[in-house]
Amino acid sequence: MRVQSGVHKLKKTRWEKFTTSCYQNKYLYLLALPGFIWLVLFAYKPMLGVLMAFQDYNIIGGLWDSPWVGFKHFQTFFSGKDFAPIMGNTIKISLLQLLFGFPMPIILAIIFNELRTGAYKKVTQTISYLPHFLSWITIAGMMTTILSPSTGLVNNVLVMFGIEPIYFLAEKSMFVPILIISSIWKEIGWSSVIYLASLAGLDQEVGEAATIDGCTRFQKIIYINFPYLMSTVAIMLILRVGGILNAGFDQIFNLYSPATYDVADVLDTYVYRLGISGFQYSLSTAIGLFKSVVGVIMVVVTNWLTKRLSDGEVSL
């Protein structure tokens, strides 16, 4: 009885502390209430749509009256002829973007950090940021114009050297490199902001001491700046690997065509065609759920490996 009484008093004390805190901070909670409601309505409520992956969903029956079929749609996707090429394209494009795109903002941030002329530094940073604010629709239009086989600037130069015009966006061998290059160009400046902010916290006395000891600028970058960035790099790598199956829907959707489906069709574009164009809501939901589960697993595994390699100093 005494133990139960003690537990009851402890619960009561916690409840009293909670209610007191709510009353004391009522205006802060009121300010946070619209954001909380938005989160529930637009982030958590849509999660109910995951149920469609286990149903033969139909619009008339709705979410609650559609028949349950278990893992039927997952089996259909995994055993279908499209599974291998779609997964292959997704992983290939994602890994190439990770391999070539992930280090570039780090290099650019280090270069910006080494610039000593303030005005020049601001101008170059601004120029590198600007493409991030352009939509992929705009960039796709620009690239279509520049790479046009008849009026494009690139092909005009090729013709001047006696080379036949090339329809770059319809060439399977060139489409993926175009994706990688355009993705780097668009996001390199904006992605470098995080690393620049991290470098801003580096103690300048360390660099001055290294200079006195005779270190060159390159040596300071290798032995001071880059190691200082490793914790930020690890966190960004974890987040990037978590989206390994996000190969860039907006970019690919606005650039690809039936001629390049074999090399450019990824999970997101495949789901779009199934769900929006083909009205196969349950199958497209199952594929989307599979992608999300893989993303969570990749985040957990990468986080674990990062902690092991950094002795637990870096984690999410």
Rounded to two decimals, what is the model's pTM?
Answer: 0.79
The verdict on 170 and 279 lying in the same domain is: yes
Q: Are residues 133 and 281 in the same domain?
A: yes
Name the residue range of residue 44's domain.
Answer: 2-54
The answer to the question of residue 60 being in a domain is no
**Quick one: the chain helix, strand, coil %, rounded to 5?**
80, 0, 20
Taking the C-alpha atoms of residue 18 and residue 100, their distance in angstroms, rounded to an integer, is 50
Residues 45 and 166 in one domain: no
Q: Is residue 314 part of a domain?
A: no
Asked if 98 and 240 count as a contact pair (C-beta separation under 8 A), the reply is yes
Name residues of the chain where pLDDT drops below 70. Answer: 1-12, 309-316
Tell me: do 47 and 171 sit in the same domain.
no
Question: What's 156's domain CATH number?
Answer: 1.10.3720.10
In a domain, 66, yes or no: no
Q: Is 70 left (phi over 0), alpha (psi -120 to 50) or beta?
A: left
Domains contained in the chain, number: 2
Tell whether 124 and 14 lie within a shared domain.
no
- Interval 262-295: pLDDT, tens: 898 898 888 888 887 778 888 888 988 898 888 8
Contact partners, residue 148, CB within 8 Å, separation at least 6: 155
Do both 49 and 81 map to the same domain?
no
pLDDT value of residue 96: 92
Neighbouring CB atoms inside 10 A of 266's CB total 27
For residue 3, what pLDDT is reported?
Answer: 45
Query: Same structural domain for residues 248 and 110?
Result: yes
What gap in Å lies between CA 213 and CA 202, rounded to an integer?
18
In angstroms, the CA 207 to CA 51 distance is 56
Residue 313's pLDDT is 53
Same domain, 252 and 125: yes
Expressed in angstroms, the distance from the first to the final Cα of the chain is 43
